[in-house]
Structures are given as structure tokens and as C-alpha cells.
Structure 1
Amino acid sequence: MECQSAVGVVGENTKIPCTFRVTTGDKHNTIYEVMIKKKGQKYPVFYINYTDKIVQGDPRVKLPSRTDPFLLFTNTTVSDEGEYEYKIMTNRGVIKGGFSLSVTAKYDPPVINSVPEEIKDRDGAELYCSTSGGYPAGGIHWFNSTGANWTERATLKITERDDRLLTMSSKLPLTVTDLRPRSFRCVVLNSSFSEVGETSSTLQRIGGPHSSPLPALAVGGVLVPVLILILIIIWFCRRRKRSPFEPDAEGGADGTETEEEEED
């Protein structure tokens, strides 16, 4: 009798198929006792004695059929993953063997957040892409609006939850220049480097939907002084063009001289 390795999904039932290999003409096989242990553990995860009607071990592990044997893990968890050994007593003798069980879980849809939440016009920011509930560890890739891969700039952090499922969070630091293309895409990869989820985010700044660091800097640091200088030049030009005998706003080029001329 041989049991095959399998890959289970967390929260679902996992079937470990087992088959008989007949080496003589007699194809009749009867199972009397089955014991399955996980390597490194003292007590079996499953034990059944059909003669004495004894069943022990994890109630999630079952052997539904005696004549068509297969092992069933119900509500598979991450802790079920590992190497197993089995010993089966039949009418043909004792059979020993082993199998492995791998476990996977799909990650939740990723979410992008920015720190700070409101990005000022001339400040940088940090983007965070987070996903949870998956297994085993995978990765997170970043792409900007032009499709360039910015993953090398990011830092990935993986933590284990109480149920041994994983949380992945990637931090992408951005400078003011990096924020010019405001659309960013986050892609979640599983352990086989296949895409299993993605999301995108378009950043908004406090300065307005069309604000940009460079135009803001130009207005504040260049255009305003230039405009002031132009106004000063215009004012001096107008003063130089004015005739010394041309009456001013008070009626003459000089108010006192005008009064003296009137007296004469």
C-alpha cells in the first residue's frame, strides 16, 4: 500500500490518495489497523483499530473507507503541513511508508496607503502595500504609471499571525520628483512568483489636482522677483520721460514755484 503526497488549501478538505499494489494472485486486502504520525511528534495524528473499534488522534483526520483507503484532512490548517509516516497492518502483513503534505492559502486583495495621508505639494511620501491571510511567503512588486518596476526601492516585511498565516507589507519611499507620476500599482506574488492580486492608487496633493513641485517652485522663487523688477523698471522709465516743466498731479512740476510765479 502506498500513500501519495498532496497539496492542501487552508480551510478546505485535503485528500491523501492511497493505493494497494498487488504482488500475488490474491487481490483480497483487509486492513486491521492504521497509525499515522507526523515526523517529530510523539503521538499519532490518526490511529484506528478495526478489531477493537478504537479511534484516536486529531478528529479532523479520517480514513473514510476501509476497502478503498484514502486519508482525509478536514478543514486543513497551516500546522498540518509536514512529513508523515504511516504503519498499516493488513491480512498480508505490516506496511510502512510516508508522504508529505504541503499547504497553501490565497492572500487577501492588497491595499495601498500613503504616509502622510495628505501629501503636501513640496514633500515626499511613503507608500505601503499590504496583504494578509496567505501562505507560504511570496512577494510584492511596485510599478509606476509608465510601467517601470520600482521593487528594488521598496522594503518587504513578512509577519506571522496567530493562525500561522502571513501578512506581507511593502514600503516604497518616494521623493518629490518620484511623485510626478502619481499613479502606482502594487502586485502580490505567491511563492511560485505568480501574480495573485493587484491594486493601484492615484495620489492627490493638498496643492490641488494640477499642482506640481517644479511650477510651484518657479512661481515662488523666480517669477515673483522678475515681475517686481519689471514694475520698478517701468516706473523709472516713466519718471525719466516726464518733462521737468510738466505739471504734476498737484498742478505743476513743483508746487512752491508755481505759487511764486502766480504772485509775480
Structure 2
Amino acid sequence: MNMASVRILFLFFIIIRARSVGKSFVKVECKTGNVGQYGQQSMLDCVVKPAEEIKEPKILVVIWRKKGSEDALLVFYKGETTLQLGYKFAESSWNDRNMNISLLITNTTMVDSGDYKCSVFTDSGDDEKTETSLRVTAKYNKPTIRSIPENITRREDVTLSCSSVGGYPEGQLRWFDEHNKEWTASSEMEAELTNDGLFKLSSKLSLLKNSISSKYTCVVFNSSGGKEDEVTLEIPGTTTSEGQEREKGSDQSSKIVASVVVIGLLIVGLLLALLIHRWWSQRGHVVV
């Protein structure tokens, strides 16, 4: 069935139902808010609830729409299901006796975020005012970090740049040094909305040549403040590493000096022993 005929079908059932008198014995219950992950499957959870006195109700029509769009996403009518690419019943073996009419989105994108409406007609009544919504989120990729200049020395200032893409909603990049001290307040961050509806986060941290730590970590957080991933840059030739080198050199010098002292004491001991031996030898010769 052509999607353009859905509105005619919908009006037809409204007219037919308007002529009937009596209580509707079915109600569609949907989960109010649904959360989907970008690039994954998402489900809009809806179930038809018949009254207790209704035994084995039969579904005649199901129509799923996204608010703001004229075309239906899925239509079930006269035993046939017509659907747009990327949408289907959540249960693959669905039939007109199955009261689970949940809609499955097979590859969620940012376009799928929004409000949806589900209309259901059965042989025991109908419900055409049920609405639900989908909020789409996306996890940020692992950040990348680089420095300007690329080869860092203590003779010039340094700028560190960090970026992370593919996330939604807008998150944050934060900076930490090797002591876990935060430097975010000294950085500048930008959030750019890309063509696919996702955010690209960029942050720059400027460092003075005489106050560079041994390493810096850039951490990406989501909109709820949850940590998603991080990257660390270790900087050679910084004050900390030079101090460690000096300590190492000092230890080696101390070991060398200690060895020289020991050797010198041994030599002095040997000379004293020889002198004493000669003195005793000469004394013994005179006595004889």
C-alpha cells in the first residue's frame, strides 16, 4: 500500500468508528520516554491492553508516524505490513493476534529523535491518541591530543590541543596534570555541531615555558558529567624529568666517590702493612 493513502485509510476508520456506539475495550500503553544510542537499534515500546472481558482480540490496523512528517513509518492493514526502510515491528514474527506493537528502528540516527504517534484499530475498539518519544544519544570517540610546537622544550611556550568527535548531546573536555590537578579553567573549548547532527569538541591549553609538567591528560565527559574516554601526553625534558636525571646522576657520582674512597683506604692499608713489615724486619736484623 502506498504511504500517501495512509491518511485516506485513517479517515475511513474514523468514520466507521464514529458510527458505532459503545465503549472501546482496548487501550494502547506506551513507554513515555525512550532513549536510543546513535548507530544502534532503538525501540519504541507500546502494547495493546484489551479489557478483561475481551477474549483474543484481533488487530485490524496499526499506523506508526513521527510527528511533523506526513508519511507513515509503518502501516499494518488487511494482513499486510508496509514500512519505510529502517523501521519494523520489534517482534519479527508479529501477527494480528500479537498485542506487542512496539516499533524497532534498526539504525538510529539523530533524525530519529523526536515524538511519535501510534494509532491502533481492533475488532473490539481502537486507540488513536497514544504518543511516545525518543531521545538519541551518542558516545564521544577517544580524544586525540597534539602540541604546538611538536617537539617540546623548556625554551618556549607550548599549546596543547585536544579534540573528540561523534558525541551527543554537547559534552566537555577537561585537562589534568600528573598530580591530577585540573587545568580546565586555563583552557578554551569549542563545541561544533557537524552535518550528521553530532558534536565535535575542541580544547586548547596554553603552557608557559617555565611551568610545564611531565604529562597532561585530556578527558572527555558526556552531558551528564560521566567520563567517557581520555588520552595522555607525556612531555620529555620537563622540570620533573630533569630533576630525576639530576638525582640519578648524583647517585651515580656518589657511588663512584664511595668506590674511590674504598680503593684509597685499601691502598693506604697495604702501604702501612708493608712499612710495618719492613720495620720489624730491620729491627730483627739489628738484634741478631
Compute the TM-score of the two structures, normalised by the length of structure 1. 0.71
Aligned to 2:223: 191
Aligned to 2:65: 37
Aligned to 2:88: 62
Q: Is the 8 A contact 1:118 1:204 kept in 2?
A: no
- Distance of aligned partners of 1:27 and 1:169 in 2 relative to their CA distance in 1, 3 Å threshold: farther
Separation in 1, partners of 2:68, 2:43: 22
Separation in 2, partners of 1:38, 1:126: 47
Structure 2 gap segments, 5+ residues each: 1-27, 244-288
Structure 1 position 178, deviation (Å): 3.1
Aligned to 2:103: 71
Structure 1 position 201, deviation (Å): 0.7
Separation in 1, partners of 2:107, 2:132: 19
What is the identity percentage for the equivalent residue pairs of Structure 1 and Structure 2?
A: 32
Aligned to 2:214: 182
Separation in 2, partners of 1:138, 1:36: 32
- Distance of aligned partners of 1:27 and 1:52 in 2 relative to their CA distance in 1, 3 Å threshold: closer
Q: Is the 8 A contact 1:33 1:47 kept in 2?
A: no
AA in 2 matched with 1:128: S
Alpha-carbon RMSD across the aligned residues, in angstroms, is 2.3
SS, match of residue 129 in structure 1: strand
Does 2:179 correspond to 1:152? no
Structure 1 gap segments, 5+ residues each: 212-264
Specify which structure has the higher proportion of helix: 2
Matches within 5 A, 1:65-214: 65-66=94-95, 67=98, 68-95=100-127, 96-179=129-212, 181-204=213-236, 210=242
Structure 1 position 126, deviation (Å): 1.1
Q: Is the 8 A contact 1:118 1:205 kept in 2?
A: no
Aligned to 2:48: 20
Matches within 5 A, 1:247-258: none
Runs in 1 of length 4+ with deviation above 3 angstroms? 204-207
AA in 2 matched with 1:42: E
Separation in 1, partners of 2:163, 2:237: 22
Aligned pair count reads: 207
Q: Is the 8 A contact 1:121 1:206 kept in 2?
A: yes
Structure 1 position 206, deviation (Å): 10
Separation in 2, partners of 1:197, 1:169: 14
Structure 1 position 93, deviation (Å): 2.6
Deviations 1:207-238 (A, max 9, x none): 9x739xxxxxxxxxxxxxxxxxxxxxxxxxxx
